[in-house]
């Protein structure tokens, strides 16, 4: 399959990047981050989650954050919801899109949302109805889709079992989450091809973590399979708080840089995106793992006068 000429990158940093932080990032800082992402041309942003403040206190200000954003037709503002209560709150707040999520493995789903797989699927009936009545599209995500830290490899049949339920509920897309960075190129290829055959009606997206250093390698596999939708996080932040040894997502600036070099359109201004990542690094008060934010694009040249000359 030919690689796509254009991809849609979803920025998940404001949600996935901040949810596991040990302290609450001030609301005004979150708003500034997201508005800067909108200004950089990011087409879709997972800006927060309508979860219980007790479960994820870092995102307790979700409604205030949304109210402070520069709404535009060029950027979709999406939010995660875990259940019907979250869906009602999201609809009342006026999100552009709702995202529901569950894990492919029973073990991780119990840890993450304290439900079995079938219990989660049953609960999505209510979410789909609430969102449908409000005219808000729903996107379905499958976490631990490419490996579970408790169970190991996940059978692709489990993915299509969940995906077919998503299709029946009228969801508009399907995301595969590599929650703890267990994906490898053969695993990605097998899962993608299986789902393209099983649910061809659902546009497929990929969400990789860089836990074992091959996040962008897995993106290349996705591109070769024709996948056009990818998640990433500013500065490479993120990680699931309910999975062992979970580290950050693939980095948005690094992903956009790679797409630019592959001559694949994203619609995102890389220089502005690097500026966002540096601002986030300042807010977090620590160095983030992103690489392009440190080195810049490869053709960003430097003055010889700024570099010492070897002697001796």
Residue 221 half-sphere exposure toward CB, CA atoms < 13 A: 19
Question: Residue 190: how many CB atoms within 10 A of its CB?
Answer: 15
Neighbours of 9 (CB within 10 A): 24
272 burial level (CB within 10 Å; 0-12, 13-18, 19+): middle
Terminal CA-to-CA distance of the chain, rounded, Å? 55
Classified as helix, coil or strand, 74 is coil
C-alpha dihedral over 154, 158, 162, 163, to 10 degrees?
Answer: 90
Angle, CA of 85, 118 and 169, to the nearest 5°: 65
Q: Say whether 251 is catalytic.
A: no
In angstroms, rounded to a whole number, what is the distance separating the alpha carbons of residues 192 and 167?
A: 16
Which tokens is 108 given?
């991780």
- Which among 153, 195, 194 has a CA at the least distance from the CA of 174? 195
Kindly report the CA angle at 171 between 128 and 66, in degrees rounded to 5?
70
Could you give the count of Cα atoms lying within 13 Å of 93 in the half-sphere of its Cβ?
Answer: 29
Q: Is 171 helix (H, G, I), strand (E, B) or coil?
A: coil
Instruction: Give me the catalytic one of 91, 148, 240, 251.
Output: 240
CA atoms lying within 13 Å on the CB side of residue 166 = 32
Distance between CA atoms of 215 and 288, rounded to whole angstroms? 16
Q: Which two tokens stand for residue 246?
A: 């979970």
Which residues participate in catalysis according to the annotation?
Answer: 240
């Amino acid at each position: 399959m030919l690689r796509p000429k254009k991809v849609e990158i979803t920025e998940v940093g404001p949600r996935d990047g901040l949810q596991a932080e040990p302290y609450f990032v001030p609301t005004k800082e979150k708003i500034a981050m997201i508005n800067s992402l909108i200004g950089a041309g990011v087409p879709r942003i997972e800006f927060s989650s309508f979860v219980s403040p007790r479960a994820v206190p870092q995102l307790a200000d979700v409604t205030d954050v949304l109210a402070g954003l520069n709404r535009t037709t060029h950027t979709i503002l999406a939010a995660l919801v875990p259940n019907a209560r979250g869906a009602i709150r999201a609809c009342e707040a006026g999100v552009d899109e709702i995202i529901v999520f569950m894990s492919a493995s029973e073990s991780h789903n119990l840890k993450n949302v304290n439900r079995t797989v079938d219990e989660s699927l049953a609960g999505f009936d209510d979410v789909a109805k609430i969102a449908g009545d409000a005219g808000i599209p729903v996107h379905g995500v499958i976490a631990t889709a490419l490996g579970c830290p408790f169970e190991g490899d996940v059978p692709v049949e489990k993915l299509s079992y969940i995906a077919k339920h998503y299709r029946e509920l009228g969801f508009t897309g399907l995301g595969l989450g590599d929650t703890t960075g267990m994906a490898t190129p053969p695993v990605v290829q097998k899962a993608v091809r299986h789902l393209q055959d099983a649910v061809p009606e659902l546009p497929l997206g990929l969400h990789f973590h860089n836990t074992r250093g091959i996040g962008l390698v897995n993106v290349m596999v996705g591109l070769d399979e024709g996948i056009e939708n990818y998640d990433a996080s500013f500065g490479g932040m993120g990680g699931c708080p309910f999975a062992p040894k979970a580290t950050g997502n693939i980095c948005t600036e690094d992903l956009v840089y790679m797409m630019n070099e592959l001559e694949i359109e994203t619609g995102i201004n890389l220089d502005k995106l690097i500026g966002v990542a540096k601002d986030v690094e300042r807010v977090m008060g620590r160095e983030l793992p992103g690489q392009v934010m440190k080195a810049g694009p490869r053709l960003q040249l430097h003055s010889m006068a700024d570099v010492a000359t070897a002697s001796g």
